[in-house]
A and B are shown apart, each in its own frame.
Chain A
Protein backbone atom coordinates (compact mmCIF):
# COMPACT_ATOMS: atom_id res chain seq x y z
CA UNK A 1 0.00 0.00 0.00
CA UNK A 2 2.08 2.81 -1.22
CA UNK A 3 -0.52 5.49 -1.06
CA UNK A 4 -2.06 4.70 2.30
CA UNK A 5 -1.26 8.03 3.92
CA UNK A 6 -2.53 9.86 0.95
CA UNK A 7 -5.74 7.84 0.87
CA UNK A 8 -6.34 8.55 4.53
CA UNK A 9 -6.07 12.25 3.94
CA UNK A 10 -8.57 11.96 1.11
CA UNK A 11 -10.93 9.92 3.21
CA UNK A 12 -10.72 12.63 5.87
CA UNK A 13 -12.44 14.99 3.45
CA UNK A 14 -16.23 14.96 3.69
CA UNK A 15 -17.70 13.13 0.72
CA UNK A 16 -19.95 15.48 -1.28
CA UNK A 17 -23.60 14.61 -0.72
CA UNK A 18 -25.29 16.29 -3.70
CA UNK A 19 -24.40 16.92 -7.29
CA UNK A 20 -24.15 20.61 -6.47
CA UNK A 21 -21.62 19.97 -3.75
CA UNK A 22 -19.77 17.53 -5.96
CA UNK A 23 -19.53 20.13 -8.68
CA UNK A 24 -18.46 22.80 -6.20
CA UNK A 25 -15.61 20.51 -5.20
CA UNK A 26 -14.48 19.25 -8.61
CA UNK A 27 -16.11 21.53 -11.21
CA UNK A 28 -13.27 24.01 -11.52
CA UNK A 29 -10.74 21.24 -11.81
CA UNK A 30 -12.78 19.47 -14.51
CA UNK A 31 -13.37 22.57 -16.62
CA UNK A 32 -9.67 23.37 -16.35
CA UNK A 33 -9.02 19.78 -17.39
CA UNK A 34 -11.30 20.07 -20.43
CA UNK A 35 -9.56 23.24 -21.46
CA UNK A 36 -6.15 21.68 -20.87
CA UNK A 37 -7.02 18.76 -23.14
CA UNK A 38 -8.47 20.97 -25.87
CA UNK A 39 -5.47 23.27 -25.61
CA UNK A 40 -2.96 20.44 -25.93
CA UNK A 41 -4.84 18.69 -28.72
CA UNK A 42 -5.51 21.72 -30.90
CA UNK A 43 -2.10 23.34 -30.50
CA UNK A 44 -0.24 20.05 -31.04
CA UNK A 45 -2.32 19.24 -34.09
CA UNK A 46 -1.77 22.72 -35.50
CA UNK A 47 1.99 22.66 -35.00
CA UNK A 48 2.03 19.02 -36.08
CA UNK A 49 0.50 19.98 -39.41
CA UNK A 50 2.77 22.99 -39.75
CA UNK A 51 5.68 20.54 -40.02
CA UNK A 52 3.93 17.28 -40.86
CA UNK A 53 2.16 18.54 -43.97
CA UNK A 54 5.35 19.70 -45.72
CA UNK A 55 7.07 16.50 -44.59
CA UNK A 56 4.22 14.40 -46.03
CA UNK A 57 4.35 16.35 -49.28
CA UNK A 58 8.12 15.87 -49.41
CA UNK A 59 7.70 12.12 -48.85
CA UNK A 60 5.15 11.93 -51.68
CA UNK A 61 7.11 14.04 -54.12
CA UNK A 62 10.49 12.39 -53.58
CA UNK A 63 9.23 8.80 -53.62
CA UNK A 64 10.33 6.79 -56.65
CA UNK A 65 6.99 7.26 -58.43
CA UNK A 66 6.71 10.85 -57.25
CA UNK A 67 6.90 14.13 -59.12
CA UNK A 68 10.59 14.47 -58.39
CA UNK A 69 12.12 11.24 -57.17
CA UNK A 70 15.02 11.72 -54.79
CA UNK A 71 16.13 8.60 -53.00
CA UNK A 72 18.33 10.42 -50.47
CA UNK A 73 15.65 12.85 -49.30
CA UNK A 74 12.97 10.15 -49.27
CA UNK A 75 15.06 7.64 -47.34
CA UNK A 76 16.13 10.27 -44.78
CA UNK A 77 12.58 11.38 -44.06
CA UNK A 78 11.38 7.79 -44.16
CA UNK A 79 13.92 6.70 -41.52
CA UNK A 80 13.20 9.71 -39.29
CA UNK A 81 9.48 9.01 -39.47
CA UNK A 82 10.00 5.34 -38.69
CA UNK A 83 12.30 5.99 -35.74
CA UNK A 84 9.95 8.45 -34.06
CA UNK A 85 6.91 6.30 -34.77
CA UNK A 86 8.54 3.16 -33.43
CA UNK A 87 9.06 4.67 -29.96
CA UNK A 88 5.96 4.22 -27.77
CA UNK A 89 4.59 7.64 -26.88
CA UNK A 90 4.95 7.17 -23.15
CA UNK A 91 8.66 6.44 -23.58
CA UNK A 92 9.10 9.32 -26.02
CA UNK A 93 7.50 11.56 -23.43
CA UNK A 94 10.11 10.58 -20.84
CA UNK A 95 12.93 10.51 -23.37
CA UNK A 96 12.20 14.09 -24.35
CA UNK A 97 12.07 15.49 -20.82
CA UNK A 98 15.51 17.17 -21.03
CA UNK A 99 14.63 18.63 -24.42
CA UNK A 100 11.24 19.84 -23.22
CA UNK A 101 12.81 21.38 -20.15
CA UNK A 102 15.36 23.19 -22.28
CA UNK A 103 12.64 24.50 -24.55
CA UNK A 104 9.81 25.36 -22.15
CA UNK A 105 11.64 25.64 -18.85
CA UNK A 106 9.81 22.77 -17.20
CA UNK A 107 8.70 19.28 -18.15
CA UNK A 108 5.22 19.12 -16.63
CA UNK A 109 1.99 20.94 -17.40
CA UNK A 110 0.04 21.33 -20.59
CA UNK A 111 2.40 23.67 -22.43
CA UNK A 112 5.39 21.44 -21.76
CA UNK A 113 3.54 18.35 -22.96
CA UNK A 114 2.82 20.04 -26.28
CA UNK A 115 6.50 19.55 -27.13
CA UNK A 116 6.55 15.71 -27.07
CA UNK A 117 3.00 15.62 -28.42
CA UNK A 118 4.04 17.63 -31.44
CA UNK A 119 7.18 15.59 -31.99
CA UNK A 120 5.15 12.38 -31.92
CA UNK A 121 2.49 13.94 -34.13
CA UNK A 122 4.74 15.24 -36.95
CA UNK A 123 5.84 11.90 -38.44
CA UNK A 124 2.41 10.43 -37.81
CA UNK A 125 0.77 13.31 -39.68
CA UNK A 126 3.42 13.14 -42.41
CA UNK A 127 2.55 9.47 -43.04
CA UNK A 128 -1.15 10.31 -43.10
CA UNK A 129 -0.56 13.13 -45.59
CA UNK A 130 1.65 10.86 -47.69
CA UNK A 131 -1.03 8.20 -47.91
CA UNK A 132 -3.73 10.78 -48.74
CA UNK A 133 -1.68 12.33 -51.52
CA UNK A 134 -0.73 8.98 -52.98
CA UNK A 135 -4.42 8.22 -53.42
CA UNK A 136 -4.72 11.08 -55.91
CA UNK A 137 -5.38 9.74 -59.40
CA UNK A 138 -2.16 9.62 -61.40
CA UNK A 139 -4.18 10.49 -64.52
CA UNK A 140 -5.16 13.89 -63.13
CA UNK A 141 -1.53 14.60 -62.29
CA UNK A 142 -0.55 13.63 -65.82
CA UNK A 143 -3.28 15.88 -67.23
CA UNK A 144 -1.86 18.78 -65.21
CA UNK A 145 1.64 18.01 -66.49
CA UNK A 146 0.33 17.93 -70.05
CA UNK A 147 -0.98 21.46 -69.51
CA UNK A 148 2.46 22.67 -68.51
CA UNK A 149 1.97 22.73 -64.74
CA UNK A 150 5.11 22.91 -62.62
CA UNK A 151 5.63 20.51 -59.73
CA UNK A 152 4.74 23.23 -57.26
CA UNK A 153 1.50 23.93 -59.13
CA UNK A 154 0.70 20.23 -59.18
CA UNK A 155 1.22 20.04 -55.40
CA UNK A 156 -0.89 23.09 -54.59
CA UNK A 157 -3.53 22.84 -57.29
CA UNK A 158 -3.89 19.10 -57.81
CA UNK A 159 -2.52 16.98 -54.95
CA UNK A 160 -3.80 19.08 -52.05
CA UNK A 161 -7.09 19.81 -53.83
CA UNK A 162 -7.93 16.30 -54.99
CA UNK A 163 -6.64 14.74 -51.77
CA UNK A 164 -8.76 17.11 -49.68
CA UNK A 165 -11.36 14.65 -48.43
CA UNK A 166 -8.79 12.07 -47.47
CA UNK A 167 -6.61 14.75 -45.84
CA UNK A 168 -9.51 15.92 -43.70
CA UNK A 169 -10.47 12.40 -42.66
CA UNK A 170 -6.85 11.70 -41.75
CA UNK A 171 -6.62 15.01 -39.87
CA UNK A 172 -9.58 13.85 -37.82
CA UNK A 173 -7.84 10.57 -37.07
CA UNK A 174 -4.63 12.44 -36.21
CA UNK A 175 -6.51 14.74 -33.85
CA UNK A 176 -8.15 11.77 -32.14
CA UNK A 177 -4.78 10.10 -31.70
CA UNK A 178 -3.24 13.27 -30.27
CA UNK A 179 -6.19 13.59 -27.89
CA UNK A 180 -5.44 10.04 -26.73
CA UNK A 181 -1.73 10.81 -26.37
CA UNK A 182 -2.53 13.96 -24.38
CA UNK A 183 -4.46 11.83 -21.90
CA UNK A 184 -1.48 9.47 -21.69
CA UNK A 185 0.69 12.45 -20.87
CA UNK A 186 -1.34 12.72 -17.66
CA UNK A 187 0.77 9.92 -16.17
CA UNK A 188 3.76 12.24 -16.01
CA UNK A 189 1.83 15.30 -14.88
CA UNK A 190 0.84 16.52 -18.29
CA UNK A 191 -2.32 18.29 -17.24
CA UNK A 192 -5.71 18.05 -18.87
CA UNK A 193 -8.37 15.40 -18.37
CA UNK A 194 -5.94 12.49 -18.57
CA UNK A 195 -3.97 13.93 -15.72
CA UNK A 196 -7.13 14.16 -13.58
CA UNK A 197 -8.13 10.62 -14.47
CA UNK A 198 -4.72 9.28 -13.42
CA UNK A 199 -4.49 11.30 -10.21
CA UNK A 200 -8.02 10.63 -8.99
CA UNK A 201 -8.72 7.24 -10.50
CA UNK A 202 -5.32 5.54 -10.26
CA UNK A 203 -3.75 7.27 -7.30
CA UNK A 204 -6.80 7.95 -5.14
CA UNK A 205 -9.35 5.36 -6.25
CA UNK A 206 -11.91 8.12 -6.64
CA UNK A 207 -13.82 6.42 -9.36
CA UNK A 208 -16.58 9.05 -9.59
CA UNK A 209 -14.11 11.68 -10.72
CA UNK A 210 -12.39 9.22 -13.02
CA UNK A 211 -15.63 8.15 -14.69
CA UNK A 212 -16.70 11.74 -15.29
CA UNK A 213 -13.26 12.47 -16.72
CA UNK A 214 -13.36 9.50 -19.02
CA UNK A 215 -16.89 10.43 -20.12
CA UNK A 216 -15.67 13.95 -20.92
CA UNK A 217 -12.78 12.52 -22.93
CA UNK A 218 -15.19 10.34 -24.89
CA UNK A 219 -17.49 13.30 -25.57
CA UNK A 220 -14.57 15.45 -26.74
CA UNK A 221 -13.33 12.68 -28.99
CA UNK A 222 -16.81 12.18 -30.44
CA UNK A 223 -17.16 15.89 -31.11
CA UNK A 224 -13.86 16.10 -32.96
CA UNK A 225 -14.62 12.94 -34.90
CA UNK A 226 -18.14 13.96 -35.90
CA UNK A 227 -17.01 17.41 -36.88
CA UNK A 228 -14.14 16.07 -38.99
CA UNK A 229 -16.31 13.59 -40.85
CA UNK A 230 -18.91 16.30 -41.38
CA UNK A 231 -16.43 18.57 -43.17
CA UNK A 232 -14.92 15.68 -45.10
CA UNK A 233 -18.28 14.54 -46.40
CA UNK A 234 -19.78 17.90 -47.06
CA UNK A 235 -16.83 19.25 -48.98
CA UNK A 236 -16.32 16.09 -51.00
CA UNK A 237 -17.54 17.19 -54.42
CA UNK A 238 -17.75 13.63 -55.64
CA UNK A 239 -20.84 13.29 -53.47
CA UNK A 240 -23.81 15.61 -53.53
CA UNK A 241 -24.26 15.94 -49.80
CA UNK A 242 -26.37 18.93 -48.91
CA UNK A 243 -26.39 19.90 -45.25
CA UNK A 244 -29.65 19.95 -43.35
CA UNK A 245 -30.47 23.01 -41.24
CA UNK A 246 -29.60 21.15 -38.03
CA UNK A 247 -26.22 19.89 -39.22
CA UNK A 248 -25.48 23.32 -40.63
CA UNK A 249 -26.06 24.91 -37.21
CA UNK A 250 -23.97 22.22 -35.50
CA UNK A 251 -21.30 22.74 -38.12
CA UNK A 252 -21.18 26.51 -37.67
CA UNK A 253 -21.19 26.29 -33.86
CA UNK A 254 -18.41 23.69 -33.92
CA UNK A 255 -16.36 25.68 -36.41
CA UNK A 256 -16.59 28.84 -34.31
CA UNK A 257 -15.80 26.92 -31.11
CA UNK A 258 -12.79 25.17 -32.59
CA UNK A 259 -11.54 28.37 -34.22
CA UNK A 260 -11.88 30.32 -30.95
CA UNK A 261 -10.36 27.53 -28.82
CA UNK A 262 -7.58 27.00 -31.34
CA UNK A 263 -6.88 30.73 -31.53
CA UNK A 264 -6.80 31.19 -27.76
CA UNK A 265 -4.75 28.01 -27.43
CA UNK A 266 -2.12 29.09 -29.92
CA UNK A 267 -1.92 32.59 -28.44
CA UNK A 268 -1.48 31.28 -24.90
CA UNK A 269 1.07 28.75 -26.14
CA UNK A 270 3.09 31.53 -27.79
CA UNK A 271 2.76 33.62 -24.64
CA UNK A 272 3.95 30.81 -22.39
CA UNK A 273 6.74 29.76 -24.68
CA UNK A 274 8.20 33.06 -25.71
CA UNK A 275 6.93 35.85 -23.51
CA UNK A 276 7.55 34.40 -20.09
Chain B
Protein backbone atom coordinates (compact mmCIF):
# COMPACT_ATOMS: atom_id res chain seq x y z
CA UNK B 1 0.00 0.00 0.00
CA UNK B 2 1.24 3.41 -0.77
CA UNK B 3 2.26 5.55 2.15
CA UNK B 4 1.04 8.82 0.67
CA UNK B 5 -1.63 9.08 -1.98
CA UNK B 6 -2.50 12.40 -3.55
CA UNK B 7 -5.69 12.30 -5.56
CA UNK B 8 -6.75 15.15 -7.86
CA UNK B 9 -5.44 17.75 -5.48
CA UNK B 10 -5.91 21.39 -6.44
CA UNK B 11 -5.20 24.42 -4.35
CA UNK B 12 -6.36 27.91 -5.10
CA UNK B 13 -5.28 30.95 -3.12
CA UNK B 14 -7.30 34.11 -3.13
CA UNK B 15 -5.14 37.16 -3.35
CA UNK B 16 -5.67 40.82 -4.12
CA UNK B 17 -4.87 40.19 -7.77
CA UNK B 18 -7.46 37.47 -8.04
CA UNK B 19 -7.20 33.73 -7.85
CA UNK B 20 -3.84 31.98 -7.86
CA UNK B 21 -3.89 28.33 -8.75
CA UNK B 22 -0.94 26.87 -6.88
CA UNK B 23 -1.78 23.25 -7.66
CA UNK B 24 -3.86 21.84 -10.48
CA UNK B 25 -5.17 18.29 -10.33
CA UNK B 26 -2.06 16.72 -8.84
CA UNK B 27 -1.93 12.94 -8.55
CA UNK B 28 0.96 11.23 -6.80
CA UNK B 29 1.56 7.89 -5.21
CA UNK B 30 4.46 7.63 -2.83
CA UNK B 31 5.38 4.15 -1.73
CA UNK B 32 6.38 3.12 1.77
CA UNK B 33 10.13 3.46 2.34
CA UNK B 34 10.63 5.47 -0.84
CA UNK B 35 12.72 8.61 -1.19
CA UNK B 36 10.54 10.73 -3.41
CA UNK B 37 11.75 13.96 -4.94
CA UNK B 38 9.44 16.74 -6.02
CA UNK B 39 11.32 19.22 -8.12
CA UNK B 40 10.42 22.44 -9.81
CA UNK B 41 11.36 26.07 -10.17
CA UNK B 42 10.33 28.49 -7.44
CA UNK B 43 6.65 29.22 -7.64
CA UNK B 44 5.85 25.84 -9.15
CA UNK B 45 3.76 24.88 -6.12
CA UNK B 46 6.19 22.44 -4.49
CA UNK B 47 5.91 23.89 -1.01
CA UNK B 48 2.14 24.01 -1.22
CA UNK B 49 2.06 20.38 -2.32
CA UNK B 50 4.23 19.17 0.54
CA UNK B 51 2.12 21.14 3.02
CA UNK B 52 -0.96 19.35 1.72
CA UNK B 53 0.64 16.12 2.89
CA UNK B 54 0.34 17.14 6.55
CA UNK B 55 -2.60 19.47 6.00
CA UNK B 56 -0.71 22.61 6.94
CA UNK B 57 -2.42 23.62 3.71
CA UNK B 58 -5.86 22.22 3.12
CA UNK B 59 -6.41 21.38 -0.56
CA UNK B 60 -9.24 23.21 -2.29
CA UNK B 61 -10.13 20.03 -4.10
CA UNK B 62 -9.06 16.41 -4.02
CA UNK B 63 -7.95 14.04 -1.30
CA UNK B 64 -4.74 13.30 0.55
CA UNK B 65 -4.49 9.82 2.00
CA UNK B 66 -1.84 8.77 4.49
CA UNK B 67 -1.69 4.99 4.86
CA UNK B 68 -5.10 4.78 3.24
CA UNK B 69 -6.78 7.28 5.56
CA UNK B 70 -8.04 10.56 4.12
CA UNK B 71 -6.79 13.58 6.08
CA UNK B 72 -10.04 15.40 5.30
CA UNK B 73 -11.93 12.90 7.48
CA UNK B 74 -9.86 13.84 10.54
CA UNK B 75 -11.00 16.24 13.23
CA UNK B 76 -8.62 19.02 14.22
CA UNK B 77 -7.47 16.96 17.20
CA UNK B 78 -6.97 13.77 15.17
CA UNK B 79 -5.08 15.79 12.59
CA UNK B 80 -2.66 17.05 15.26
CA UNK B 81 -2.18 13.46 16.37
CA UNK B 82 -1.57 12.42 12.76
CA UNK B 83 1.05 15.15 12.33
CA UNK B 84 3.10 13.55 15.08
CA UNK B 85 3.79 10.69 12.68
CA UNK B 86 4.86 13.05 9.88
CA UNK B 87 8.12 14.83 10.57
CA UNK B 88 9.06 17.93 8.65
CA UNK B 89 12.27 19.88 8.09
CA UNK B 90 12.66 23.27 6.46
CA UNK B 91 15.00 25.41 4.41
CA UNK B 92 15.67 27.79 7.29
CA UNK B 93 15.67 25.02 9.92
CA UNK B 94 13.02 26.81 12.02
CA UNK B 95 14.56 25.96 15.36
CA UNK B 96 13.64 27.72 18.58
CA UNK B 97 16.50 30.18 18.86
CA UNK B 98 15.94 30.74 22.57
CA UNK B 99 16.17 27.05 23.46
CA UNK B 100 19.18 24.78 23.62
CA UNK B 101 19.78 22.01 21.10
CA UNK B 102 18.43 19.28 23.36
CA UNK B 103 15.36 21.32 24.30
CA UNK B 104 14.66 21.80 20.59
CA UNK B 105 14.77 18.06 20.02
CA UNK B 106 12.56 17.55 23.08
CA UNK B 107 10.01 20.06 21.77
CA UNK B 108 7.75 17.61 19.88
CA UNK B 109 7.92 15.23 22.84
CA UNK B 110 6.79 17.95 25.24
CA UNK B 111 3.96 18.72 22.83
CA UNK B 112 2.88 15.11 23.21
CA UNK B 113 3.00 15.49 26.98
CA UNK B 114 6.15 13.45 27.62
CA UNK B 115 8.02 14.07 30.88
CA UNK B 116 11.34 15.85 30.82
CA UNK B 117 13.49 12.87 31.82
CA UNK B 118 11.93 10.62 29.20
CA UNK B 119 12.17 13.30 26.51
CA UNK B 120 15.82 13.99 27.29
CA UNK B 121 16.68 10.31 27.04
CA UNK B 122 15.07 10.05 23.62
CA UNK B 123 16.61 13.36 22.48
CA UNK B 124 20.09 12.15 23.40
CA UNK B 125 19.60 9.00 21.31
CA UNK B 126 18.57 11.13 18.37
CA UNK B 127 21.44 13.59 18.76
CA UNK B 128 23.73 10.57 18.74
CA UNK B 129 22.23 9.46 15.42
CA UNK B 130 22.75 12.86 13.81
CA UNK B 131 26.19 13.16 15.38
CA UNK B 132 25.60 16.20 17.55
CA UNK B 133 25.42 14.80 21.05
CA UNK B 134 28.35 16.91 22.23
CA UNK B 135 26.44 20.05 21.20
CA UNK B 136 23.35 19.27 23.24
CA UNK B 137 23.72 22.27 25.56
CA UNK B 138 24.63 24.71 22.79
CA UNK B 139 22.14 27.18 21.36
CA UNK B 140 21.21 27.20 17.66
CA UNK B 141 22.94 30.56 17.11
CA UNK B 142 26.22 28.87 17.95
CA UNK B 143 25.79 26.20 15.26
CA UNK B 144 26.54 26.15 11.54
CA UNK B 145 23.76 25.72 9.00
CA UNK B 146 24.51 22.04 8.55
CA UNK B 147 24.48 21.47 12.29
CA UNK B 148 21.18 23.32 12.64
CA UNK B 149 19.65 21.12 9.96
CA UNK B 150 20.90 18.05 11.85
CA UNK B 151 19.17 19.32 14.98
CA UNK B 152 16.03 19.88 12.91
CA UNK B 153 16.27 16.31 11.60
CA UNK B 154 16.70 14.94 15.13
CA UNK B 155 13.67 17.00 16.18
CA UNK B 156 11.62 15.71 13.25
CA UNK B 157 12.52 12.13 14.17
CA UNK B 158 11.73 12.52 17.87
CA UNK B 159 8.19 11.22 17.62
CA UNK B 160 9.13 8.18 15.50
CA UNK B 161 7.48 9.39 12.32
CA UNK B 162 6.73 7.14 9.37
CA UNK B 163 7.16 10.01 6.93
CA UNK B 164 9.71 12.80 6.76
CA UNK B 165 8.88 15.83 4.63
CA UNK B 166 11.86 17.94 3.57
CA UNK B 167 10.99 21.40 2.28
CA UNK B 168 14.08 22.73 0.47
CA UNK B 169 16.07 21.29 3.36
CA UNK B 170 19.44 21.74 1.66
CA UNK B 171 18.82 24.95 -0.25
CA UNK B 172 20.48 27.15 2.38
CA UNK B 173 23.53 24.89 2.65
CA UNK B 174 26.79 24.71 0.73
CA UNK B 175 27.37 21.73 -1.60
CA UNK B 176 29.55 19.80 0.84
CA UNK B 177 27.11 20.21 3.74
CA UNK B 178 24.28 19.34 1.37
CA UNK B 179 25.95 16.01 0.62
CA UNK B 180 26.37 15.30 4.33
CA UNK B 181 22.74 16.07 5.06
CA UNK B 182 21.62 13.96 2.11
CA UNK B 183 23.78 11.08 3.34
CA UNK B 184 22.16 11.41 6.75
CA UNK B 185 18.68 11.35 5.19
CA UNK B 186 19.62 8.25 3.22
CA UNK B 187 20.84 6.57 6.40
CA UNK B 188 17.61 7.44 8.18
CA UNK B 189 15.63 6.07 5.26
CA UNK B 190 17.45 2.76 5.17
CA UNK B 191 17.84 2.26 8.93
CA UNK B 192 14.39 3.27 10.08
CA UNK B 193 12.44 2.67 6.88
CA UNK B 194 11.07 6.19 6.96
CA UNK B 195 9.43 7.40 3.76
CA UNK B 196 11.09 10.63 2.72
CA UNK B 197 9.60 13.31 0.50
CA UNK B 198 12.11 15.84 -0.74
CA UNK B 199 11.09 19.20 -2.16
CA UNK B 200 13.90 20.87 -4.03
CA UNK B 201 14.85 23.01 -6.97
CA UNK B 202 18.25 21.33 -7.21
CA UNK B 203 18.42 18.42 -9.64
CA UNK B 204 21.65 17.32 -7.97
CA UNK B 205 19.70 16.55 -4.79
CA UNK B 206 17.24 14.37 -6.67
CA UNK B 207 20.06 12.62 -8.53
CA UNK B 208 21.97 12.00 -5.32
CA UNK B 209 19.34 10.29 -3.19
CA UNK B 210 15.88 10.05 -4.70
CA UNK B 211 14.41 6.86 -6.12
CA UNK B 212 11.39 8.52 -7.69
CA UNK B 213 10.80 12.04 -8.85
CA UNK B 214 7.91 14.23 -9.88
CA UNK B 215 8.53 17.40 -11.85
CA UNK B 216 6.19 20.25 -11.07
CA UNK B 217 5.60 23.22 -13.29
CA UNK B 218 3.02 25.93 -12.62
CA UNK B 219 1.15 23.64 -10.25
CA UNK B 220 0.99 20.73 -12.66
CA UNK B 221 2.94 17.48 -12.47
CA UNK B 222 4.48 17.33 -15.94
CA UNK B 223 6.56 14.24 -15.49
CA UNK B 224 7.04 11.55 -12.87
CA UNK B 225 8.74 8.23 -12.52
CA UNK B 226 11.94 6.53 -11.43
CA UNK B 227 14.85 8.97 -11.24
CA UNK B 228 16.97 6.91 -13.65
CA UNK B 229 14.21 6.94 -16.28
CA UNK B 230 13.60 10.65 -16.01
CA UNK B 231 17.31 11.34 -16.20
CA UNK B 232 17.98 9.12 -19.17
CA UNK B 233 14.80 9.80 -21.10
CA UNK B 234 13.37 13.13 -20.07
CA UNK B 235 10.01 13.55 -21.80
CA UNK B 236 9.37 17.23 -21.29
CA UNK B 237 11.22 20.46 -21.89
CA UNK B 238 11.10 21.27 -18.16
CA UNK B 239 12.79 18.00 -17.29
CA UNK B 240 15.49 18.56 -19.89
CA UNK B 241 16.07 22.08 -18.64
CA UNK B 242 16.39 20.93 -15.03
CA UNK B 243 18.84 18.22 -16.01
CA UNK B 244 20.87 20.64 -18.09
CA UNK B 245 20.99 23.12 -15.22
CA UNK B 246 22.24 20.42 -12.91
CA UNK B 247 25.40 22.35 -12.15
CA UNK B 248 28.54 20.54 -11.12
CA UNK B 249 27.13 17.39 -12.62
CA UNK B 250 29.16 14.52 -11.32
CA UNK B 251 27.22 12.02 -13.34
CA UNK B 252 29.16 8.83 -13.85
CA UNK B 253 31.13 8.84 -17.06
CA UNK B 254 32.75 5.83 -18.66
CA UNK B 255 36.38 5.52 -17.67
CA UNK B 256 38.31 6.50 -20.76
CA UNK B 257 41.91 5.82 -21.48
CA UNK B 258 42.77 9.46 -20.99
CA UNK B 259 40.96 9.65 -17.68
CA UNK B 260 42.91 6.70 -16.42
CA UNK B 261 46.08 8.27 -17.66
CA UNK B 262 45.57 11.50 -15.84
CA UNK B 263 44.03 10.01 -12.73
CA UNK B 264 46.09 10.88 -9.65
CA UNK B 265 47.83 13.60 -11.64
CA UNK B 266 48.60 17.02 -10.26
CA UNK B 267 45.58 19.18 -9.56
CA UNK B 268 45.75 22.95 -9.78
CA UNK B 269 43.40 25.86 -9.39
CA UNK B 270 43.47 28.60 -11.96
CA UNK B 271 41.70 31.90 -11.60
CA UNK B 272 40.65 33.94 -14.58
CA UNK B 273 40.80 37.66 -14.38
CA UNK B 274 40.40 40.59 -16.74
CA UNK B 275 39.71 39.42 -20.26
CA UNK B 276 41.33 36.04 -20.08
CA UNK B 277 37.94 34.40 -19.68
CA UNK B 278 37.00 35.45 -23.19
CA UNK B 279 40.04 33.81 -24.65
CA UNK B 280 39.95 30.03 -25.13
CA UNK B 281 43.03 29.54 -22.95
CA UNK B 282 42.45 25.90 -22.08
CA UNK B 283 41.71 24.91 -25.66
CA UNK B 284 44.83 26.72 -26.80
CA UNK B 285 46.82 25.04 -24.03
CA UNK B 286 45.75 21.59 -25.17
CA UNK B 287 46.36 22.44 -28.82
CA UNK B 288 49.80 23.89 -28.05
CA UNK B 289 51.03 21.00 -25.93
CA UNK B 290 48.95 18.16 -27.30
CA UNK B 291 48.50 16.91 -23.73
CA UNK B 292 45.17 16.02 -22.06
CA UNK B 293 43.82 18.24 -19.31
CA UNK B 294 40.98 17.16 -17.07
CA UNK B 295 38.58 19.91 -16.02
CA UNK B 296 37.29 18.90 -12.59
CA UNK B 297 35.32 22.03 -11.94
CA UNK B 298 34.66 25.26 -13.71
CA UNK B 299 32.76 28.30 -12.69
CA UNK B 300 32.73 31.61 -14.52
CA UNK B 301 30.84 34.67 -13.49
CA UNK B 302 30.47 38.12 -14.86
CA UNK B 303 31.54 40.33 -11.97
CA UNK B 304 30.96 44.01 -12.65
CA UNK B 305 31.37 43.56 -16.39
CA UNK B 306 34.58 41.61 -15.97
CA UNK B 307 34.50 37.88 -16.50
CA UNK B 308 36.06 36.19 -13.51
CA UNK B 309 36.16 32.54 -12.82
CA UNK B 310 37.84 29.60 -11.32
CA UNK B 311 38.76 26.25 -12.77
CA UNK B 312 40.17 23.15 -11.21
CA UNK B 313 42.44 21.31 -13.67
CA UNK B 314 44.11 17.98 -13.44
CA UNK B 315 47.23 17.15 -15.47
CA UNK B 316 48.54 13.80 -16.57
CA UNK B 317 50.45 11.96 -13.90
CA UNK B 318 54.25 12.46 -13.83
CA UNK B 319 54.20 14.46 -17.05
CA UNK B 320 57.51 16.34 -17.44
CA UNK B 321 55.72 19.08 -19.39
CA UNK B 322 53.34 19.96 -16.54
CA UNK B 323 55.56 22.79 -15.34
CA UNK B 324 55.72 24.23 -18.85
CA UNK B 325 51.95 24.03 -19.12
CA UNK B 326 51.57 25.90 -15.82
CA UNK B 327 53.94 28.54 -17.11
CA UNK B 328 51.82 28.83 -20.26
CA UNK B 329 48.77 29.58 -18.11
CA UNK B 330 50.71 32.16 -16.08
CA UNK B 331 51.91 33.78 -19.29
CA UNK B 332 48.31 34.16 -20.40
CA UNK B 333 47.41 36.25 -17.39
CA UNK B 334 45.89 33.53 -15.23
CA UNK B 335 46.81 32.94 -11.63
CA UNK B 336 47.79 29.38 -10.83
CA UNK B 337 47.55 27.87 -7.37
CA UNK B 338 47.24 24.61 -5.53
CA UNK B 339 43.94 22.88 -4.91
CA UNK B 340 44.69 20.47 -2.08
CA UNK B 341 41.01 19.85 -1.26
CA UNK B 342 40.55 18.03 -4.56
CA UNK B 343 43.01 15.26 -3.80
CA UNK B 344 41.75 11.89 -2.67
Contacts and interface: CB of A to CB of B under 8 A. Distances in A.
Interface of A: 137, 139-140, 142-150, 153, 157-158, 161-162, 164-165, 236-240
B97 A237 contact: yes
A137 B97 CA distance: 10
A153 B111 contact: yes
Contacts of A149: 80, 111
B56 A161 contact: no
B92 interface: yes
B98 A143 contact: no
B98 A237 contact: yes
B96 A147 contact: no
Contact of A148 (B108, B140, B152, B165): B108
Contact of A150 (B56, B80, B90, B141): B80
Interface in B81-130: 81-84, 86-88, 90, 92, 94-100, 107-108, 110-112
A147 B98 contact: no
B99 A144 contact: no
Contacts of A153: 111
Given A142-B56, A143-B90, A147-B84, A164 B98 contact: yes
Contacts of B84: 147-148
Q: Say what secondary structure dominates the interface of chain B.
A: mixed
Contacts, number: 80
A162 B111 contact: no
Contacts of A143: 88, 90, 94-95, 152
A123 B118 CA distance: 41
Contacts of B98: 161-162, 164-165, 236-238
A157 B56 contact: no
A146 B88 contact: yes
27 contacts: A137-B97, A142-B56, A142-B90, A142-B94, A143-B94, A143-B95, A144-B111, A145-B56, A146-B88, A147-B107, A147-B155, A148-B80, A148-B84, A148-B111, A148-B112, A149-B80, A149-B111, A150-B80, A157-B110, A161-B96, A236-B98, A237-B98, A237-B99, A237-B140, A237-B141, A238-B97, A240-B141
Contacts of A164: 98
Interface residues of B, number: 33
B179 to A, nearest CB: 24
A162 B83 contact: no
Interface of B: 54, 56, 79-84, 86-88, 90, 92, 94-100, 107-108, 110-112, 139-142, 152, 155, 159, 165
A22 to B, nearest CB: 49
Given A143-B152, A161-B98, 11 more contacts: A137-B97, A140-B97, A142-B56, A143-B88, A146-B86, A146-B87, A147-B111, A157-B110, A237-B99, A237-B141, A238-B141
Contacts of A147: 83-84, 87-88, 107-108, 111, 155, 159
